[in-house]
A and B are shown apart, each in its own frame.
Chain A
Amino acid sequence: GAVVSQHPSWVICKSGTSVKIECRSLDFQATTMFWYRQFPKQSLMLMATSNEGSKATYEQGVEKDKFLINHASLTLSTLTVTSAHPEDSSFYICSATILAGGRDNEQFFGPGTRLTVL
């Protein structure tokens, strides 16, 4: 159990377009979902924390108007990269914390989405 999926697994887009990435908890309800970004040969950096039904909390230096997060349900969060540019090319990974069942706060990570902006 505790599987997190992401869609798409990879996407290539033209500069100036918007890209939506979905993060789903498949077999559990997630209180909170997190979005991370990883540039080549670097570690994962937290971008934002997303709670169902409320506005996301962004980390310092992350533009909330560029990276739109919608957490519509306890099993789905979406990240939209608006007006993407080549410097947004990165690996985006989401994670989710489980709602209940003795595993509170344990984080489960999705497989990641590789975004390439031409």
Chain B
Amino acid sequence: SQQGEEDPQALSIQEGENATMNCSYKTSINNLQWYRQNSGRGLVHLILIRSNEREKHSGRLRVTLDTSKKSSSLLITASRAADTASYFCAVQGTNAGKSTFGDGTTLTVKP
């Protein structure tokens, strides 16, 4: 079964608000990556966080990782309409190297 499980499945907010998405997994990981995907398009890599890291920032994005709880969160601050997309976490296990994707969170930012 998939390791990554995300919540919420869908999130609708007003422009300027913050959006938080969560990802939980089941086993030990090498790293966890967050991606954005606009409808019908490819993946856009956002942030990679390694198992020995707890927090990373990139512009308006903040990712946290809690290995004790086996969970990660993606925070988008001061959201914009252009942030509307699906967001996926991908968990890379400690063996085999393959990544398993969560079901994704569909974010809608209303102008």
Contacts and interface: CB of A to CB of B under 8 A. Distances in A.
Given A106-B31, A107-B33, A93 B99 contact: no
Interface stretch (A18-26, A42-50, A61-69): A42-50
Contacts of B2: 43
Contact of A46 (B45, B100, B103): B100
Nearest to B102: A43
Interface residues of B, number: 23
A57 to B, nearest CB: 9
A107 B43 contact: no
Nearest to A114: B40
8 contacts: A44-B43, A44-B101, A46-B99, A46-B100, A49-B97, A95-B99, A109-B35, A114-B40
Interface of B: 2, 30-31, 33, 35, 40-43, 45, 48, 88, 90, 92, 96-104
Given A44-B101, A49-B96, 12 more contacts: A43-B101, A43-B103, A43-B104, A44-B43, A46-B99, A49-B97, A95-B99, A105-B30, A105-B31, A107-B92, A109-B43, A109-B45
